[in-house]
């Protein structure tokens, strides 16, 4: 039996409608940004932390990336008050946790790539503990 490593990525939504964009993505089981480019070999072994920051609060949820989004990606975020998440590849996800506020001490400072790789395992555990 061949063991496949799990990779934890992060997607960052920003702007004043970022939490709304995150909720719409959860409802449609989709995630998108311009930083993550996955190959077909990474599907099913890629966990994603989708994060946004509103003021001093960080909100995130955990998902598993299962493939390219098969629906019409332009319609996922068309109900958003904002511009929706950044342009980029849209992936289909299986949602593994609800959206929770994650303490700054767990997330560390957010970067353009979302959660820094050094903090992703801690955020993953926090989201799994919260359910």
pLDDT tens track of the chain, all 131 residues? 454 688 999 999 999 999 999 999 999 999 998 889 998 888 889 999 999 999 999 999 999 999 999 988 889 998 888 887 778 899 999 999 999 999 999 999 998 889 999 999 999 999 999 97
Structure confidence at residue 1 (pLDDT): 43
**Longest Cα–Cα distance in the chain:** 48
The pTM (predicted TM-score) of the whole model is 0.92
Q: How far apart (Å, rounded) are the C-alpha atoms in residues 65 and 45?
A: 8
Structure confidence at residue 121 (pLDDT): 96
- Domain ranges for the chain, please list them: 7-130
- Contact between 25 and 129 (Cβ < 8 Å): no
Class of domain 7-130 (CATH, top level): alpha beta
């Amino acid at each position: 039996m061949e063991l496949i490593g799990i990779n934890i990525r992060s997607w960052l939504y920003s702007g004043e409608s970022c939490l709304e964009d995150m909720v719409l993505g959860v409802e449609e089981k989709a995630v998108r940004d311009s930083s993550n480019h996955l190959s077909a070999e990474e599907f099913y072994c890629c966990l994603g932390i989708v994060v946004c920051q509103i003021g001093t609060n960080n909100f995130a949820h955990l998902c598993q990336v299962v493939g390219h989004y098969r629906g019409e990606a332009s319609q996922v975020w068309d109900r958003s008050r904002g511009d929706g998440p950044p342009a980029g590849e849209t992936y289909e996800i299986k949602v593994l946790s609800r959206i929770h506020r994650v303490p700054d001490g767990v997330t560390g400072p957010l970067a353009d790539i979302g959660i820094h790789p050094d903090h992703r395992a801690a955020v993953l555990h926090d989201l799994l503990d919260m359910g």
